[in-house]
Amino acid sequence: MTGDKIDKKMKVIKTIKIDVDKCNGCRACEVICSAFHAAPKYSSNNPARSRIRIIRDPLRDIYVPVYAGEYTVAECAGRDKYTIDGKEYDECSFCRASCPSRDEFKEPDSGLPLKCDMCEGEDEPLCVKWCLADALTLETREEEEPDEQGEQEDMEIGLESLADKYGLQTIMDSLARMSEKD
């Protein structure tokens, strides 16, 4: 191992493995996620504010948990189709992005994008804890920390995109609400 490697800081990456076959569509994950992110915490629950949504087709017993991912300024060009148990779904059904072409993963009042934060501050993501069917499993791995300059640039690009789309005041109001949560 080189000296350069020894100096690198490591960080723990958390991911959630989804077993679609075990999901029964109970939506407990949506309830606890929205309650955890309510302001103040646990004061209300509304699945429309959840960072995990269940794509449901109860008549065919199909339930697919989808986590909120990155915000995107423009809709993508992908229009693939998926066929599951004979039913056709379009690509957007399972997409994780908060995107201009649909309403999923947007805060209902402000329209600001929602993104899974792995229940920051909790030992275990609450959706994993509340999923009694074991459809969601926390997995962890270690990765080298990115350098600070790269992180700063990524953050600035993300903030600029949000400010362009929603206006600086909306972003600041939202940050103020988030800081009141705890």
Binding site for ligand SF4 (CB under 6 A): 23-29, 32-33, 36, 51-52, 54, 63, 65, 67, 116-119, 125-127, 130-131, 133, 135-136
Cβ closest to ligand SF4, residue 89 vs residue 163: 89
Helices (H), the chain: 3-7, 28-36, 126-130, 148-166, 168-180
Inter-residue contact 137 to 128 (CB < 8 Å)? yes
Cβ 114 to ligand SF4, closest distance in Å?
9
CB of 52 to ligand SF4, least distance (A): 4
Of 35 and 162, CB closest to ligand SF4: 35
**Nearest approach, Cβ of 25 to ligand SF4 (angstroms)?**
5
Is the CB of 33 or the CB of 95 nearer to ligand SF4? 33
Can you tell me the distance from the alpha carbon of 71 to that of 76, in angstroms, rounded to the nearest whole number? 12
Provide the minimum distance between the beta carbon of 124 and ligand SF4 in the complex, in angstroms, as a whole number: 9
Smaller CB distance to ligand SF4: residue 8 or 141?
A: 141
Residue 43 dihedral angles phi and psi, to the nearest 5°? -80, -20
Are 19 and 143 contacting, i.e. CB atoms less than 8 angstroms apart?
Answer: no
Strands 52-57 and 62-67: antiparallel
Number of Cβ within a 10 Å radius of residue 84: 15
